């Protein structure tokens, strides 16, 4: 199994809603990542988890809250988002923070209305 | 700060017309340079990892090369199904402030016409 699975594939939410994005991998990877990608732009790193601990937070607003319940799962909790937060949210994993190449999931297309 | 610049921004080729994409980078100690292919609305699909200057990797019609300042992705006799955005990214060695972070270039949008 060399896949990173993200759910849901599409999500539409209002600015007062609370929702969560989920990411799962079963490759035994110990580093997991959240990236945000706007249209026609490259992915931008949001968070890095290494051995289930948050190791990098790229100054992301607190309305995005990551969680790593175990080594296979990564969640991104969303609350009080703005329309400009609409984007493709990508999860990735790698053997370690500085080893192995990152595998990306297919992303969640988020629209904030 | 790590930086990656890709050129050209967009490239239109006829089927069978070979060409190259460029990725120039500055990084505080390169751990690896990655090439990905991305189709619209999908996640990046891994193509190659290069670790040191002089290294080359090949896969079907694609060949990636690396120097100390840049990487090239050569596309030989491309087909319409090669149309996609090609992303280059660098990762710095452990110990710096960008530990674990992939820094992406803006990408090259490749269109191959039949």
pLDDT-derived band of residue B97, with 50, 70 and 90 as boundaries? Answer: low
The upper half-sphere exposure of residue A36, i.e. CA atoms within 13 Å in the direction of its Cβ, equals 17
Integer Cα distance of B36 and B80 in angstroms: 17
Integer Cα distance of A67 and A104 in angstroms: 18
Distance of CA B100 to the CA centre of its chain: 18
Q: Which residue has the higher pLDDT, B113 or B98?
A: B113
Residue B81 phi/psi, 5-degree rounding, is: -70, -10
**Are B110 and B86 contacting, i.e. CB atoms less than 8 angstroms apart?**
yes
**Are A19 and A89 contacting, i.e. CB atoms less than 8 angstroms apart?**
no
**Are B33 and B50 contacting, i.e. CB atoms less than 8 angstroms apart?**
yes
Minimum distance, in Å, between the CA of residue A16 and any CA atom of chain B: 26
Integer Cα distance of B82 and B19 in angstroms: 12
**Are B21 and B112 contacting, i.e. CB atoms less than 8 angstroms apart?**
no
Q: Give, for A47, the enclosing helix (H) or strand (E).
A: strand A44-50
Candidates A47, A35, A94; CA nearest to B31 is A94
pLDDT-derived band of residue A55, with 50, 70 and 90 as boundaries? Answer: confident
pLDDT-derived band of residue B93, with 50, 70 and 90 as boundaries? Answer: confident
Span A60-86, pLDDT tens digits: 999 999 999 999 999 999 999 999 999
Chain A contact set for B30 (CB, 8 A): none
Candidates A59, A101, A103, A106: best to mutate against B (most CBs of B within 10 A) is: A101
Would the CB atoms of A98 and B41 count as touching at under 8 Å?
no
Looking only at the bridges linking them, the beta strands covering A108-112 and A10-13 are parallel
Integer Cα distance of B105 and A41 in angstroms: 9
Minimum distance, in Å, between the CA of residue A113 and any CA atom of chain B: 19
**Are B10 and B109 contacting, i.e. CB atoms less than 8 angstroms apart?**
yes
Span B26-63, pLDDT tens digits: 988 888 999 999 999 999 999 999 999 999 999 999 99
Would the CB atoms of A104 and B91 count as touching at under 8 Å?
no
Q: Does A75 touch chain B (CB under 8 A)?
A: no
Integer Cα distance of A72 and A1 in angstroms: 13
The CB density around residue B18, as the number of other CB atoms within 10 Å, is 11
Contact residues, A window 31-60, toward B, CB-based 8 Å cutoff: 31, 33, 41-45, 48, 50, 55-56, 58
What is the separation, in whole angstroms, between the first and last Cα of chain B? 41
Q: What is the pLDDT of residue A1?
A: 59
């Amino acid at each position: 199994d060399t896949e990173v699975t993200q759910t849901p594939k599409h999500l539409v939410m209002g600015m007062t809603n609370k929702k969560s994005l989920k990411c799962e991998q079963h490759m035994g990877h110990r580093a997991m990542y959240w990236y945000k990608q706007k249209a026609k732009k490259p992915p931008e790193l949001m968070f890095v988890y290494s051995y289930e601990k948050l190791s990098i937070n790229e100054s992301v607003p607190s309305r995005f809250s990551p969680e790593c319940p175990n080594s296979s799962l990564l969640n991104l909790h969303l609350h009080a988002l703005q329309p400009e937060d609409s984007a493709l949210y990508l999860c990735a994993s790698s053997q370690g923070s500085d080893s192995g190449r990152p595998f990306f999931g297919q992303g969640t297309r988020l629209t904030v209305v | 700060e790590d930086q990656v610049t890709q050129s050209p921004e967009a490239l239109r080729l006829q089927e069978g017309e070979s060409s190259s994409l460029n990725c120039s980078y500055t990084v505080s100690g390169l751990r690896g340079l990655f090439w990905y292919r991305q189709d619209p609305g999908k996640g990046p699909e891994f193509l190659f990892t290069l670790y040191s200057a002089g290294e080359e990797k090949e896969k079907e019609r694609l060949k990636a090369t690396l120097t100390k300042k840049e990487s090239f992705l050569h596309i030989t006799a491309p087909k319409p199904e090669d149309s996609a955005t090609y992303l280059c990214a660098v990762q710095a060695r452990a110990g710096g402030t960008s530990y674990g972070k992939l820094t992406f270039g803006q990408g090259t949008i490749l269109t191959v016409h039949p």
